[in-house]
Amino acid sequence: MSDKSYVLVTAARNEAKFIEKNLRSVVFQTIKPLRWAVISDGSTDATDEIVREYATQHDFIKFIRVDNQKERDFASKVFALRVGFKDVEIYPYQFIGILDADITLKPDYYEKIMHEFDKDPKLGIGGGLLMDCLDDDTPINRGSNPWSVPGGIQLFRRECFQKIGGILPLRYGEEDFVAEVKTRMEGYKVQAFYNITGALHHRLTGTAERKFPFSALNDGLRDYYVGTYLPFEFVKCLSRMKNNRPFLLAGIFRLCGYFLAAVRRVKREIPDDIVKCSQTEQRKRFISILKLPIANKLNKI
């Protein structure tokens, strides 16, 4: 088995605006996936037709249609992804990646990421720097950190993915966050490589169905839902005021969403051991942030 073998899974719902750019960026990878399962999750636009056309031209692309729910839902997305995971499991791959349908990649993206896996056998989840690129404007750093890989570009070592039990379907999302915590609990590393660029996100996170300020409020709800340590949430929201559009308001509304969820006592579906591990990690990061010079604090969230 090649040490550069990987498969991809994409869940797409009404992504006709972005899906062709996404498809082209994978087709032109210097190392192509053994299999790429693209699951249309109840799409009602031209998504299906676009993917089918590419699937007829490229043997490694598999189009799959599912109808889970009428509305976009994070749990529905994971159920669609699981259909893709089942499709690719027969292939002799070393890495398995989740790729969102509104992301495009430079041709050597996966080659570079897999090279990092080769250098570190304990790397469980890896990815590059994901930038927001709206309406073909200049890419903007979305505000990330080296210990977390955005869910839309997570690449897993196969044995790590199997040990953590894959991806959990959660009502309010954050399945990528939970996967990272479980990965570290299993003794693997999670790392974003800022030197690997060329991953562009063409839609603001959380705005597929919700527009601001509801997208920011929902982000705060999700932070509460996964048990984010409150002092860490304050600093996280300060960072969003600086890095996320609309500046200042993005962080304020996110914090409001967190407290609204607390008042409503939104039920957490995540196992207690994962919440405790996550909060322990966040406490350590919060303490380390307090020790930094003021100018560097917000860049470490």
Q: Can you say how many angstroms the Cα of residue 249 is from the centroid of all Cα atoms in its chain?
A: 23
Same domain, 140 and 222: no
Single-letter code of the amino acid located at 263: V
Count the neighbouring beta carbons within 10 Å of the beta carbon of residue 266.
15
237 occurs within a structural domain: yes
Same domain, 189 and 243: no
pLDDT of residue 232: 93
Count the neighbouring beta carbons within 10 Å of the beta carbon of residue 211.
11
34 occurs within a structural domain: yes
Instruction: Answer yes or no: pTM beyond 0.95.
Output: no
85 occurs within a structural domain: yes
Same domain, 13 and 137: yes
Which of 177, 201, 225 is the last residue in one of the domains? 201
- The count of domains in the chain is 2
Same domain, 188 and 59: yes
Same domain, 224 and 190: no
The domain in which residue 162 lies consists of: 6-201
Show the tokens assigned to 95. Answer: 């890495």
pLDDT of residue 242: 76
Give residue-wise pLDDT tens across range 95-151: 999 999 999 999 999 999 999 999 999 999 999 999 988 776 777 776 678 999 999
Same domain, 92 and 197: yes
Single-letter code of the amino acid located at 66: V
298 occurs within a structural domain: no
Which of 174, 201, 228 is the last residue in one of the domains? 201
206 occurs within a structural domain: no
Q: In this structure, which long-range contacts are made by residues 231-235, counting pairs with CB atoms below 8 Å and at least 24 apart in sequence? A: 231/286, 232/282, 232/283, 232/285, 232/286, 233/258, 235/286, 235/289, 235/297, 235/298, 235/301
Count the neighbouring beta carbons within 10 Å of the beta carbon of residue 272.
9
pLDDT of residue 245: 74
Same domain, 120 and 44: yes
pLDDT of residue 299: 57
299 occurs within a structural domain: no
Q: Which candidate, 153, 129, 158, 155, places its Cα nearest to that of 142?
A: 129
Same domain, 254 and 130: no
**CATH number of the domain bearing residue 94:** 3.90.550.10
105 occurs within a structural domain: yes
Give me the residues of the chain with pLDDT under 50, please.
1-2
Same domain, 148 and 280: no
Which of 201, 222, 257 is the last residue in one of the domains? 201
- Strand residues in the chain grouped as ranges (E): 6-12, 35-41, 61-66, 95-98, 103-105, 123-128, 130-132, 140-141, 155-157, 189-193, 199-201
Same domain, 191 and 219: no
Same domain, 116 and 79: yes
Count the neighbouring beta carbons within 10 Å of the beta carbon of residue 78.
20
pLDDT of residue 184: 97
300 occurs within a structural domain: no
DSSP string across 175-218: HHHHHHHHHHHTT-EEEEETT---EEE-S-TTTTT--TTHHHHH
Same domain, 280 and 175: no
CA distance 85 to 286: 36
